[in-house]
Amino acid sequence: MDLSNVRAWTRELWDALPLDGGKVIDATVGNGYDTVYLAGRVGEKGTVWGFDVQEQALEAAKQQLRGAGLLDRCRLIKDSHENVDLYVSEPVDGVMFNLGWLPGTEHVVTTQAPSTIKAVNKCLRLLKKGGLMTVCVYPGHPEGEKEKVALLAWAEALDDTAFDARVTAYLNITKRPPLLIAVARRK
């Protein structure tokens, strides 16, 4: 068992979600590792909408997807995830957020609490019954700390008759460890 990073925790949840022929949103495409995973899971009849604000990220993801023969089922969109409703109107099986900046860059462009909160709210409205939303949060930098505070308050306030919200956090790492927020729609 690998508990050494939050993405491994995320994959455990996603691996348990039936997705063949499904529709999902990758809200933070980055270099496309998660997009490739999602595109593989939805199969040839499925759809992945992928959002990122950086052309560089979308290009890297496109190359990966093309190399894996998965590009045809993906719609890569250069826009902020807070505008998800301009592009996606159908109910979706899952939404994945992996917050922060593009690995390997100067850390200039990062996700930010106000737009992240708008995006999770809009994505939750699109989530089907039984659907899953995961958010990996990295409070080790100032914007990430703001996102952590805002997202925990947001998740705590969700209607408990419609959603189950859970947080998975490290107990033994002292330097602002990452955490995973997962929300499932019950009805």
Stretch that binds ligand SAM, among 41-49, 102-110, 124-132, 162-170 (CB under 6 A): 102-110
Of 52, 27, 7, 19, residue with least CA distance to 122: 27
Question: From the CB of 57, what's the least distance to ligand SAM, in Å?
Answer: 4
* Residue from 32, 46, 94, 178 in contact with ligand SAM (CB under 6 A): 32
Asked if 25 is part of the footprint of ligand SAM (rule: CB under 6 A), the reply reads no
Taking CB under 6 A as the rule, does residue 88 contact ligand SAM? no
Candidates 46, 94, 100, 131: give the one binding ligand SAM (CB under 6 A): 100
Closest CA to 140 of 5, 34, 33, 32: 5
Which parts of 53-82 interact with ligand SAM (CB under 6 A)?
Answer: 53-54, 57, 80-81
Q: Which of 9, 22, 42, 98 is close enough to bind ligand SAM by CB under 6 A?
A: 98
CA distance 166 to 151: 11
Q: How far is the CB of 160 from ligand SAM (least distance, A)?
A: 28
Does position 34 interact with ligand SAM (CB under 6 A)? The reply is: yes
Q: In which residue are the tokens 């009805």 written? A: 187
Q: Residue 41 is encoded by which pair of tokens?
A: 């899971």
Which residues lie near ligand SAM (CB under 6 A)? 28, 30-34, 51-54, 57, 80-81, 98, 100-102, 109-111, 115
